[in-house]
């Protein structure tokens, strides 16, 4: 009996095997493939027959003791492959665990997820209660519901109520978070509300625990997963609800390997599974807001903070009036304000979205900048490690460099990073305890201890990057100083204004959460700019409405579909030639705009030169199918790599 089996590799079709018994789509099997054995899944369609070639059909070696993958998930993976223009086998690879499927384990392995723990009850405000009722309406079929709420309004408790209802009915639930760093604090919140332990899924979880979680979900022994992007592809036996927290966050975009947007794919998985999905945000993405306007998504709003805590006030500090001293980055007026907050026992955050000590290091004598030999960007000096680092390829280098006449370079450090601000803060506020809050310091085991000290007010001053804005609850934080508003409001990214709105709304939402008066100070040279007034408007829908009109006028997403093609090669001349060959092929066969090729803004990454082509098409065209057919007929030469990015967010 012939059986189609999909394998987790670069092929876009299943392979045909034989078995002595009838097999159903979704069964996990072990089959011979090449010189080794491979785990695959019995698929819902056969490969297209090739009459020119005849192959000996091999036999399936083993049927694994795992609940079969349901038909709706198979349909989702097929659709995922077509939408993102990736081989079906690579979509399956996202579902399996390092190309393995995990058979049912002993019951004792799942006990910790069913252990009864202490929990608390929460009283909801009128707004929270109304939103909670909205979330549980129409929860027996697919629908997308947006929960928009002011930072600190208690959105988490509202959607926890919806999850609790689903669990009580015997369903499983998935909560997606944008950052690994959020999971520890979030897990505590979850246990406090539900009284049991969720499964945590992200890249830092051990393989042993991942095996337990994978098999526990497929056997319905684990009820809730809190995870990063990859959790979306896990083998849920009875998934009943998906929640995407901070749905606007750019981190949901996977930009290496198989490229996809986890938020959008979560909506699609919910649609194929015929279950509801909740999108949660203080400032929804422009795409989400547009779908609200089109009535594709339902929505609820919570406009007031929990227990009526006030939102922070905003104040602009004019750097033309209170100028910065040489090699200093905090003005005298800002320091005056900060001192008054520290005297009251408030916690203070200095915000600068730059890791390291200095983003530019150059020699005063030869004027040469330290740049990465593998990437066309400058190296960032990290003083704590005493190294220059490339944030793209990980290249490391010391500061020693020969200058003209055989002498050593005389170094100048241009521009601030959080480490430089930390030094400045330490020298001024030496009696207070301060800490850097960035991905360099908070993705370590010690980060749990640091978080606890911040919550307990044992740390007085934080110097943080955008990581600090993502969902943390610091009850004593009542003063935020934004040091680089002028820099973040510049640039050519079509989403820059939207990203800034989301970032600064989230950031200001960290302050005043326990009810005390709080302030956000913006240091700026441009006090007449309307950027700050847009960022600080309490109702983000006003900004999103303006941004939507602007996007429509210029036929930008969500009103057109963008698809990016990134062509890379270590041979610059070969890359240029092949880029134009591909562009000509696209122009001949696609009835839409093909822009480029142009050199990518970061022209070289990891020793590979990069060109970009941008395809712009009407939303109603099935552009992915046409493009897929073209790329299947295009023979990519040796030494050239082609990556497809559907709905790009970054254009680097």
Q: What is d(CA 52, CA 310) in angstroms, rounded to the nearest whole number?
A: 73
pLDDT digits (tens, 9 = 90+) for 106-158: 999 999 999 999 999 999 999 999 999 999 987 789 999 999 998 888 999 99
Residue 455, judged by CB atoms within 10 A of its CB (0-12, 13-18, 19+), counts as: middle
Domain 107-306 = CATH 3.40.50.11030: no
CA dihedral in degrees (378, 254, 261, 634; nearest 10)? 90
Check whether 381 has a pLDDT greater than 60.
yes
Please tell me the predicted confidence (pLDDT) of residue 503: 86
Residue 142's contacts (CB-CB under 8 Å, 6 or more residues apart) are 270, 271, 273, 274, 275, 276, 277
Q: What is d(CA 65, CA 42) in angstroms, rounded to the nearest whole number?
A: 14
Please tell me the predicted confidence (pLDDT) of residue 49: 65
| Of 83-92, 398-407, 462-471, 603-612, minimum mean pLDDT range | 398-407
pLDDT digits (tens, 9 = 90+) for 417-426: 999 999 999 9
pLDDT digits (tens, 9 = 90+) for 294-353: 999 999 999 988 877 788 899 999 999 998 988 899 999 999 999 999 999 999 999 999
Please tell me the predicted confidence (pLDDT) of residue 168: 95
Q: Looking at beta carbons, which pairs linking 570-578 to residues 24 or more positions away fall under 8 Å?
A: 570/607, 570/608, 570/609, 570/639, 571/609, 571/639, 572/609, 574/637, 574/639, 574/640, 575/609, 575/610, 575/611, 575/640, 576/611, 578/637, 578/640
Element (H, E) at 342: helix 332-343
Helix (H, G, I), strand (E, B) or coil at 7: coil
Q: Are 518 and 511 in contact (CB under 8 A)?
A: yes
Please tell me the predicted confidence (pLDDT) of residue 226: 97
| Of 65-79, 114-128, 531-545, minimum mean pLDDT range | 531-545
Helix, strand, coil share (%) of the chain residues, nearest 5: 35, 25, 40
- Percent of the chain at pLDDT > 70 equals 97
Please tell me the predicted confidence (pLDDT) of residue 220: 95
Q: Which CATH architecture has domain 309-548?
A: 3-Layer(aba) Sandwich (3.40)
**Helices and strands, number each (H, E), in the chain:** 18, 29
Q: What is d(CA 303, CA 281) in angstroms, rounded to the nearest whole number?
A: 12
Q: What is d(CA 268, CA 72) in angstroms, rounded to the nearest whole number?
A: 11
Beta bridge partners of residue 12, listed in sequence order: none
| Average pLDDT score, the chain | 91
Q: Are 486 and 416 in contact (CB under 8 A)?
A: no
The DSSP bridge pattern shows strands 519-524 and 313-318 to be: parallel
* Banded pLDDT at 538 (limits 50, 70, 90): confident
- The three state secondary structure string of 550-613 is HHHHCCCCCCEEEEEEEEEECCHHHHHHHHHHHHHHHHHHCCCEEEEEEEEEEEEECCEEEEEE
Please tell me the predicted confidence (pLDDT) of residue 86: 96
Q: What is d(CA 42, CA 26) in angstroms, rounded to the nearest whole number?
A: 5
| Of 155-159, 184-188, 625-629, minimum mean pLDDT range | 184-188
How far lies 175's CA from each of 146, 162, 183, 378, in Å?
14, 12, 11, 37
Domains 107-306 and 560-646 agree in fold: no
Q: Are 517 and 478 in contact (CB under 8 A)?
A: yes
pLDDT digits (tens, 9 = 90+) for 202-250: 988 999 999 999 999 999 999 999 999 999 999 999 999 999 999 999 9
Peptide bond into 267 cis (omega under 30): no
* Banded pLDDT at 102 (limits 50, 70, 90): very high
Please tell me the predicted confidence (pLDDT) of residue 334: 96
Check whether 445 has a pLDDT greater than 70.
no
Structure tokens at 31: 């089959």
Helix (H, G, I), strand (E, B) or coil at 131: helix
Structure tokens at 109: 């392995």
| Of 207-216, 299-308, 482-491, 545-554, minimum mean pLDDT range | 482-491
Element (H, E) at 92: helix 88-95
End-to-end CA distance of the chain: 50
Please tell me the predicted confidence (pLDDT) of residue 487: 55
Check whether 506 has a pLDDT greater than 90.
no
- DSSP line for 439-476: HHHHSSTTHHHHHHHHHTT---EEEE-GGGGSS---TT
Check whether 403 has a pLDDT greater than 60.
yes
Residue 215, judged by CB atoms within 10 A of its CB (0-12, 13-18, 19+), counts as: buried
**What value, to the nearest 5°, has the Cα angle with vertex 179 and ends 177 and 383?**
170
pLDDT digits (tens, 9 = 90+) for 20-50: 888 999 999 999 998 999 999 999 988 776 5
Beta bridge partners of residue 199, listed in sequence order: 225
Structure tokens at 504: 């600064």
pLDDT digits (tens, 9 = 90+) for 516-531: 899 999 998 877 666 6
User: What is 560-646's CATH topology?
Assistant: Alpha-Beta Plaits (3.30.70)
- Percent of the chain at pLDDT > 90 equals 73
Please tell me the predicted confidence (pLDDT) of residue 12: 93
Average pLDDT over residues 621-643: 92
Peptide bond into 597 cis (omega under 30): yes
Q: Please tell me the pTM assigned to this model.
A: 0.93
Q: Are 254 and 262 in contact (CB under 8 A)?
A: yes
Residue 189, judged by CB atoms within 10 A of its CB (0-12, 13-18, 19+), counts as: middle
| 37 or 400, higher pLDDT | 37
Domain spans of the chain, in order of start = 2-70, 107-306, 309-548, 560-646
* Banded pLDDT at 484 (limits 50, 70, 90): confident
**What value, to the nearest 5°, has the Cα angle with vertex 431 and ends 453 and 461?**
45
Q: What is d(CA 25, CA 41) in angstroms, rounded to the nearest whole number?
A: 7
Order of strands, sheet of 15-18, starting from the edge strand that comes earlier in the sequence = 15-18, 2-6, 36-42, 28-33, 62-63
| Of 79-88, 202-211, 482-491, minimum mean pLDDT range | 482-491
Please tell me the predicted confidence (pLDDT) of residue 406: 77
Q: Identify the residue whose tokens are 């109603």.
A: 620
């Amino acid at each position: 009996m012939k059986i189609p089996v999909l394998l987790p590799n670069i092929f876009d079709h299943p392979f045909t095997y034989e078995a002595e018994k009838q097999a159903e789509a979704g069964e996990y099997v072990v089959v011979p493939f090449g010189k080794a054995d491979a785990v695959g899944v019995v698929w819902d369609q056969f490969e297209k027959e090739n009459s020119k070639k005849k192959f000996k059909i091999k036999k399936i070696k083993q049927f694994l003791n795992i609940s079969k993958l349901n038909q709706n998930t198979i349909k989702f993976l097929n659709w995922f492959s077509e939408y993102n223009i990736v081989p079906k086998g690579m979509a399956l690879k996202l579902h399996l665990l390092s190309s393995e499927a995990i058979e049912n384990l002993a019951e004792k392995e799942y006990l910790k997820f069913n252990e009864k723990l202490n929990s608390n009850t929460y009283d909801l405000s009128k707004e929270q209660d109304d939103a909670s009722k909205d979330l549980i309406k129409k929860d027996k079929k697919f629908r997308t519901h947006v929960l928009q709420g002011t930072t600190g309004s208690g959105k988490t408790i509202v959607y926890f109520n919806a999850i609790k209802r689903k669990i009580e009915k015997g369903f499983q639930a998935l909560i997606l978070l944008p950052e690994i760093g959020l999971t520890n604090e979030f897990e505590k919140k979850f246990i406090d509300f539900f009284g049991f332990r969720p499964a945590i899924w992200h890249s830092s979880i051990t393989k042993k625990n991942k095996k337990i979680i994978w098999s526990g979900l497929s056997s319905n022994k684990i009820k809730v997963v809190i995870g990063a992007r990859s959790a979306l592809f896990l083998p849920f036996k009875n998934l009943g609800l998906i929640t995407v927290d901070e749905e606007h966050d750019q981190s949901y975009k996977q930009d290496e390997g198989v490229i996809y947007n986890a938020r959008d794919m979560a909506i699609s998985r919910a649609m194929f599974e015929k279950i509801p999905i909740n999108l949660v945000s203080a400032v929804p993405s422009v795409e989400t807001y547009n779908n609200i306007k089109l009535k594709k998504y339902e929505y609820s709003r919570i406009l007031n903070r929990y227990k009526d805590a006030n939102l922070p006030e905003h104040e602009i500090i004019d750097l033309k009036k209170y100028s910065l001293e040489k090699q200093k980055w905090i003005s005298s007026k800002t320091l005056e304000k900060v001192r008054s907050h520290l005297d009251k026992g408030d916690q203070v955050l200095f915000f600068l979205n730059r890791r390291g000590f200095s983003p530019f290091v150059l020699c005063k004598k030869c004027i040469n900048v330290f740049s990465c030999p593998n990437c066309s960007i400058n190296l960032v000096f990290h003083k704590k490690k005493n190294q220059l680092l490339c944030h793209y390829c990980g290249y490391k280098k010391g500061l020693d460099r020969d200058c003209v006449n055989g002498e050593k370079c005389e170094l100048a450090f241009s521009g601030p990073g959080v480490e430089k601000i930390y030094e400045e803060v330490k020298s001024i506020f030496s009696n207070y305890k301060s800490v850097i809050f960035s991905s360099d310091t908070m993705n370590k085991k010690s980060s749990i201890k640091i978080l606890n000290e911040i919550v307990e007010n044992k740390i007085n001053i934080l110097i943080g990057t955008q990581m600090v804005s993502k969902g943390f609850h610091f009850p004593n934080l009542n003063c935020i100083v934004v040091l680089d508003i002028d820099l973040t409001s510049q640039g050519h990214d079509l989403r820059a204004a939207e990203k800034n709105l989301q970032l600064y709304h989230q950031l200001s939402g960290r302050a005043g959460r326990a009810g005390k008066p709080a302030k956000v100070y913006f240091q700026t040279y441009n006090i007449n700019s309307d950027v700050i007034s847009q960022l600080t408007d309490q109702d983000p829908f006003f900004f999103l409405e303006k941004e939507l009109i602007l996007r429509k006028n210029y036929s930008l997403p969500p009103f057109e579909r963008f698809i990016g093609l990134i062509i890379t090669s270590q041979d610059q001349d070969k890359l240029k030639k092949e880029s134009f060959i591909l562009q000509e092929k696209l122009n001949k066969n696609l009835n839409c705009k093909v822009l480029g090729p142009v050199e990518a803004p970061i022209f070289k990454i990891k020793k590979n030169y990069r060109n970009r082509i941008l395809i712009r098409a009407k939303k109603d065209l099935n552009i992915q199918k046409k493009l897929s057919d073209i790329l299947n007929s295009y023979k990519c030469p040796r030494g050239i790599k082609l990556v497809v990015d559907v709905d790009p967010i970054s254009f680097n």
